[in-house]
Amino acid sequence: MPHQHTDHVNETSVDELILAEKILPALQSIQDELGCSLSEAIAEFSLRYNRLRIDRPDDFTLPHGEYGRNVYT
């Protein structure tokens, strides 16, 4: 599976999970909707996270360096 953004994921719900710092549920949603591996879901998450940092920076409650600090995949 390519590491590019896909429109098959429900962007609104996954974006809201990312903004709410619900990283594992966001990864699970991406996996469920795309039927992809964890590493592919992480790549998609990363693309979405970076886009949100640009498009909606004020919607994050943590700075970039602290977001996901205690999540290990």
Alpha-carbon distance of 22 to 15, in angstroms, equals: 10
Total number of domains constituting the chain? 1
Render pLDDT for 10-32 as a digit per residue (tens, 0 to 9): 677 999 999 999 999 999 999 99
Render pLDDT for 34-59 as a digit per residue (tens, 0 to 9): 999 999 999 999 999 999 999 999 99
What is the crossing angle of helices 38-55 and 11-19, to 10°? Answer: 80
Kindly state the percentage of the chain with pLDDT values over 70. Answer: 79
What range defines the domain where residue 47 resides?
1-73
